Amino acid sequence: MHYLLLIHDDESADNGDLMPEYTAYTQELQASGALVGANQLQPSDTATTVRVRNGEQVVTDGPFAEAKEVLGGYYLIDVDSLDEALEWAAKIPSARYGGIEVRPVVMRRAEVGA
Amino acid sequence: MPANPAAWLVTVARNRAIDRMRRDATLRRKTELLVPAEAEPVDEDDAIPDERLNLVFACCHPALALEAQIALTLRALGGLETGEIARAFLVPEPTMAQRLVRAKRKIRDAGIPFRIPADTILTDRLRAVLRVVYLIFNAGYGPPVRRELCNEAIRLGAMLALLMPDESEVHGLHALLLYQDARRDARVADGSLVLLEDQDRDLWDEAEIAAGHRALERALALPSGGTYVLQASIAAAHGADGSDWPRIAGLYARLAEVEPSPVVELNRAVAVAMARGPEAGLDLLERIEGLDGFYLFHSARADLLRRLDRPAAGAYARAIALAPSELERAFLERRLSELRR
């Protein structure tokens, strides 16, 4: 099953340089064969939200919702069950400061058969 | 229990299983080239218990809300229908049915596994399972008493003891449930709650206490007992011919280390009061923080104040205001009126 591990944390907090840890984590994930994709996002003040209402585009500055913990990046992994997904999520360096939302990905028939 | 509990829970997981079978078939095709196919040995006696354990761990998965864990466990592994579970937890049947449907859907869609968890997380997951069983028992222990829940919890406890014979906490919980259940007839008299110290111990179910002793012996023969083994040991120290209060106070002190909580401290204070007198107990009790909204804290305090001939009416009033049921309120009001005499 595919799971998206959404990394939520407080961008204003100084948690030191987590990059070496993230690099090691990503390598471990890759070596296990579970890694499908991953990306770090630019800070949330670079976010733009688009809504279309009655055919009109409304573009606003900022992320969809104001929250202390914001989406900062994600991993997409392929593992057997929620337990493995939770285990990988717990190892993400930011799990110690923010939280990792673990979301199963909807697999359409075409993808499953592939 | 559904005619086929696994099927009831698993039908929703069928798509996932089909995917896996498809993968397995591919793997088999590949490996058949290397190794001649051999029939796998099938041991029916082993297969059935394993499946029940897998079910327990799926039903009590921490990704499910606690109330859903309880409902699922009762439905998939207990002997209760949805309507009975709904009545036991005082919710409308459609609400309970909806809760079960939502929980089963999460098991399927989130990929909650049907298997015994890996060793690294087994302790935590087992704790979650035992908590669900204990909560089921407590929901039935009342008051008001709902026998069907107590019976289900004991049945689940016995099943787990059979399936996980090397886990001390499993036997500890099983023993604890048996001891508590054995006191059910002595616990309520004339519609009122009877404190353990005032219970007619002749009403205790001797056979069930003996079963509790056997379960506790199995627990104590294993290493690393935790909260349930300690709680069962405490229950065992309340014997038919009296309670060993110094031992009980010591066990509560250990329990407070294993599982620090103000409620454990409260029980410890009460035990110390019995072992060394109300003064020592009250001394410990007054140091507890965070129980101001808990009626048992105020009723224990009232009781100690009464025994020390100090003003206790205020503590009784507070306990009565917080009492969760009529039965408990009636008991406290009787004590308060005795005070006034």
CATH of the domain at A48: 3.30.70.1060
Q: Find chain B residues with C-beta within 8 A of A3's C-beta.
A: 111
Q: What is chain B's mean pLDDT, rounded?
A: 86
Domain boundaries, chain B: 244-280, 292-341
Residue of A nearest to B120 (CA): A87
Mutation target for B interface from A81, A107, A112: give the one with most B CBs within 10 A. A81
The answer to whether the peptide bond before residue B144 is cis (omega within 30 degrees of 0) is yes
In the predicted structure, residue B297 carries a pLDDT above the cut 90: yes
Region B60-77 average pLDDT? 94
Q: Do A82 and B117 touch (CB under 8 A)?
A: no
Q: Do B117 and A3 touch (CB under 8 A)?
A: no
Instruction: Tell me if B112 sits within 8 A of B122, measured CB to CB.
Output: no
Q: pLDDT value at position B89? A: 86
Q: pLDDT value at position B41? A: 45
Q: pLDDT value at position B65? A: 94
Say which residues have a Cβ less than 8 Å from residue B49's Cβ, sequence separation at least 6. Answer: B162, B163
Q: What is the sign, positive or negative, of the torsion defined by CA atoms of B41, B46, B48, B53?
A: negative
Q: pLDDT value at position A16? A: 86
Instruction: Tell me if B330 sits within 8 A of B192, measured CB to CB.
Output: yes
> pLDDT tens for residues B114-173?
999 999 999 999 999 999 999 999 988 877 788 899 999 999 999 999 999 999 999 999
Region A68-89 average pLDDT? 95
Nearest CA to B235 out of B217, B209, B261 is that of: B209
Q: Which of B19, B109, B113 comes nearest A83 by C-beta?
A: B113
Q: Does A114 touch chain B (CB under 8 A)?
A: no
Region B185-193 average pLDDT? 80
Q: Does A110 touch chain B (CB under 8 A)?
A: no
The CA angle B303-B186-B273, to the nearest 5 degrees, is: 25
Q: pLDDT value at position A109? A: 66
Q: Find chain A residues with C-beta within 8 A of B109's C-beta.
A: 104
User: pLDDT above 90 covers what percent of chain B?
Assistant: 65
Q: Which of A80, A104, A112 comes nearest B110 by C-beta?
A: A104
User: Could you say which residues from 66 to 95 on chain A have a Cβ atom under 8 Å away from some Cβ of chain B?
Assistant: 80-83, 85-87
Token pair 């886990």: residue:
B167
Contact residues of B toward A, CB < 8 A: 16, 19, 61, 63, 109-113, 115, 117-118, 120-121
> pLDDT tens for residues A2-41?
999 999 999 888 888 999 999 999 999 999 999 999 999 9
C-alpha to C-alpha distance for B325 and B327, rounded to whole angstroms:
5
> pLDDT tens for residues B207-251?
999 999 999 999 999 987 899 999 999 999 998 888 999 999 999
Q: Find chain B residues with C-beta within 8 A of A112's C-beta.
A: 19
Q: Find chain A residues with C-beta within 8 A of B120's C-beta.
A: 87
Where is B188: in which H helix or E strand?
strand B188-189
Greater confidence, B27 or A98? A98
Query: How many C-beta atoms lie closer than 10 Å to residue B29's C-beta?
Result: 9
Q: Which of B19, B111, B120 comes nearest A81 by C-beta?
A: B111
Report the amino acid identity of residue B218: R
> What token pair was written down for B289?
């923080």
Residue of B nearest to A80 (CA): B111
Side-chain-side CA neighbours of B270 within 13 Å: the count stands at 19
- CA-to-CA separations, B87 to A56, B101, B232, in angstroms, rounded: 51, 17, 29
Q: What is the 3-state secondary structure (H, E, C) of B262-282?
A: HHHHHHHHHHHHHHHCHHHHH
Domain count, chain A: 1
Q: Do A81 and B113 touch (CB under 8 A)?
A: yes
In the predicted structure, residue B340 carries a pLDDT above the cut 60: yes
Confidence band, pLDDT 50/70/90 cuts, at residue B71: very high
Q: Which of A1, A87, A112 comes nearest B111 by C-beta?
A: A1
Q: pLDDT value at position B338? A: 86
C-alpha to C-alpha distance for B62 and B124, rounded to whole angstroms:
9
In the predicted structure, residue A97 carries a pLDDT above the cut 50: yes
Q: Find chain B residues with C-beta within 8 A of A86's C-beta.
A: 63
C-alpha to C-alpha distance for B10 and B65, rounded to whole angstroms:
19
Q: Do A104 and B109 touch (CB under 8 A)?
A: yes
In the predicted structure, residue B49 carries a pLDDT above the cut 80: no
C-alpha to C-alpha distance for B223 and B70, rounded to whole angstroms:
28
Confidence band, pLDDT 50/70/90 cuts, at residue B12: very low
Greater confidence, B57 or A67? B57
Q: Provide the β-strand partners of residue A48.
A: A61
Greater confidence, B195 or B253? B253
